[in-house]
A = this chain, B = another copy of it.
Amino acid sequence: MTHREPLRPVLYDESRDLVRLLDQRKLPGEETWLELATADGVAEAIKTLAVRGAPAIGVAAAYGVAVEARRGAGPAQLRRVAAMLARARPTAINLAWAVKRISARLDHGAAALLAEAHAIRDEDEAACRRMGALGAPLLPRGATVLTHCNAGALATAGYGTALGVIRAAREAGNPVTVLADETRPFFQGARLTAWELDRDGIPVTVLTDGMAGWLMQRGEIQCVVVGADRIAANGDVANKIGTYGLAVLAAHHRLPFYVAAPWSTVDLETATGAGIPIEERPSEEVVLIGAQRIAPVGVPARYPAFDVTPGELVSAIVTERGVVRAPYPEGLRAIAGGG
């Protein structure tokens, strides 16, 4: 089944002044849109993963500031709102980046704030398309590409980062196919990546998170492409838990391991991955799947939501400003002035 309307998970309804978010907790079973009239509602949607993905939560937070301005909040209140939104999740730097960007206009009035939020949204989608164009040539012809979590249209304003590279390769006539790690505990791969690729007619098969090594050993994977939540100045990449293990496996099998992320994900003020805060989420989100409990009552579970992949394991970082290869400190600095 192929739909052709582009998928855009974060929208703003100007006639009713509502932030509209495709509820990613309900996919693929239900396509439900949340309609939020307050920044608190947006923050709650970010915390509970109704909207997730580093670029997408940045866009949502910008609209969260805009909706409060359009409903009459003044600069002082907006400043508190912005600080509250920036704290909703700690790891993705895009959230802080978007809030900081819109916060530079808190004194300019509601119309200017909404225009800035729209600009953040539009620029993110344009960046994804540019990353697609730059990254697509990296994929071998007919490759089976492994991805982790969802770095797709659902994680961005539209089109996607890692999945944008895959979409662009397909649009350029390269018949790549995709293996999607299911990505426990939230199943972003099985639920979201599989849904949005299937919607676009791109062949996708789901794996459990323990299968990648075996398929690499058997020669069934040609490269790995993932997104990022934050990239430190030295090229260390924070991304969904499980990414680091894939990078080690890719290196062991001499397969390329690519990261695609907009420039807003690059945090030159954080020197190395050791400085990136890693969110720990509740044990219950691991042991409860819907109403089903998969572990005995009283047995704890760990849930670090992200991990850090050292730059040495990354073959290239694809941004809208260019494709950067090691040494990353120099490569990232070189394009820092552009854009």
Cα-based distance from A195 to B300 in the complex (angstroms) = 12
Take A29-B293, A286-B208 as given contacts and tell me if A198 and B245 are in contact as well, using a CB distance cutoff of 8 Å. Answer: no
- Copies of this chain, tallied across the complex: 2
**Contact B208–A185 (Cβ < 8 Å):** yes
Interface locus among A112-120, A125-133, A186-194, A261-269: A186-194
A209 within 8 A of B: yes
**Contact A295–B190 (Cβ < 8 Å):** yes
Take A292-B292, A299-B194 as given contacts and tell me if A248 and B213 are in contact as well, using a CB distance cutoff of 8 Å. Answer: yes
Cα-based distance from A294 to B206 in the complex (angstroms) = 10
**Contact B205–A301 (Cβ < 8 Å):** yes
Cα-based distance from A191 to B289 in the complex (angstroms) = 13
**Contact B299–A212 (Cβ < 8 Å):** no
Contact of A182 among B184, B187, B207, B308 (CB under 8 A): B184
A215 within 8 A of B: yes
A273-292 with Cβ < 8 A to chain B: 286-287, 289-290, 292
**Contact B245–A191 (Cβ < 8 Å):** no
A186-243 with Cβ < 8 A to chain B: 187, 190-191, 194-195, 198, 204-215, 217, 240-243
Take A213-B244, A245-B214, A295-B28 as given contacts and tell me if A302 and B207 are in contact as well, using a CB distance cutoff of 8 Å. Answer: yes
Instruction: Considering the complex, give the chain B residue whose CB is closest to the CB of A253.
Output: B248
Question: Which residues of A line the B interface, CB within 8 A?
Answer: 1, 28-29, 148, 179, 181-185, 187, 190-191, 194-195, 198, 204-215, 217, 240-245, 248-249, 252, 286-287, 289-290, 292-296, 298-304, 307-308
Apart from A191-B294, A206-B287, A211-B241, what are 12 other A-B pairs with CB-CB below 8 Å? A1-B298, A184-B184, A185-B208, A204-B299, A208-B286, A209-B210, A210-B241, A211-B302, A215-B302, A245-B245, A245-B249, A290-B292
